[in-house]
């Protein structure tokens, strides 16, 4: 009986909410990059992305498990079947840039998001890597998911 109720109610519970994603870009210390590098990075980012609000906690690797990360801005996705996106780009010398947001609002028209679902090194001569992931659960573009636990708890309560 519980299982039947779960299958009946779950689609309504999931579809009644708009998707909510973390919405931020991490901050790079000005001492980490030169003015020329900063300007080149800004040009590249502004050409491809609608830049979300800057947050010093956006790059936290523990994501949703960190109390400070919970202060990061959130965005309600305007498009049905949208996805939350997390883009991590790590350069040499521990420089890390993180962007998070809804796919429909983060990407500028004409640019597609290529997801690789795992981080990889650019080549063997460098320590830089990139990671692009998407998901379709509430606030899932943190580092660790927790929504499966909520579904299991909901099932046990029924």
pLDDT-derived band at 137, boundaries 50, 70, 90: very high
Sheet holding 129-135, edge to edge: 54-55, 24-26, 96-102, 84-90, 129-135, 120-121
Q: Please give the Cα distance from 15 to 17 (Å, whole number).
A: 6
- Number of helices (H), then strands (E), belonging to the chain: the values are 4, 8
* Stretch 123-149: mean pLDDT: 68
* Domains of the chain from N-terminus onward: 17-144 (2.10.60)
* Confidence (pLDDT) at 145: 39
* Confidence (pLDDT) at 156: 40
| 150 sits in which H/E element | helix 147-157
Mean model confidence pLDDT for the chain: 75
Contact yes or no for 76/48 (Cβ under 8 A): no
Q: Does the structure show a pLDDT above 60 at 4? A: no
Q: Whole-prediction pTM value? A: 0.71
Contacts of 23 (CB under 8 A, 6+ apart): 52, 53, 72, 73, 74, 75, 100, 101, 102
Per-range mean pLDDT, top range of 75-84, 90-99, 103-112 = 75-84
Query: pLDDT tens digits for 12-67?
Result: 444 456 899 999 999 887 777 788 888 888 898 999 999 999 998 998 766 556 77
| 100 sits in which H/E element | strand 96-102
User: Which residues share a beta bridge with 90?
Assistant: 96, 129
Contact yes or no for 58/141 (Cβ under 8 A): no
Q: Which two tokens stand for residue 6?
A: 């779960």
- How many of the other CB atoms lie within 10 Å of CB of 94? 8
């Amino acid at each position: 009986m519980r299982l039947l109720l779960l299958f009946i109610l779950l689609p309504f519970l999931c579809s009644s909410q708009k998707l909510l994603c973390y919405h931020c870009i991490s901050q790079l210390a000005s001492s980490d990059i030169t003015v020329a590098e900063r300007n080149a990075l800004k040009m590249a980012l502004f050409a491809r992305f609608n830049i979300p609000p800057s947050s010093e906690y956006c790059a936290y690797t523990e994501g949703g498990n960190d109390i400070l990360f919970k202060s990061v801005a959130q965005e309600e996705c305007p498009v049905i079947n949208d996805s939350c996106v997390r883009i991590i780009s790590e350069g040499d010398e521990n420089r890390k840039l993180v962007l998070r947001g809804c796919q429909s609002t983060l990407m500028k028209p004409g640019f597609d998001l290529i997801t690789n679902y795992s981080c990889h090194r650019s080549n063997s001569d460098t320590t830089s890597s990139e990671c692009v992931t998407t998901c379709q659960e509430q606030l899932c573009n943190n580092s660790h998911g927790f929504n499966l636990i909520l579904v299991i708890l909901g099932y046990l309560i029924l």
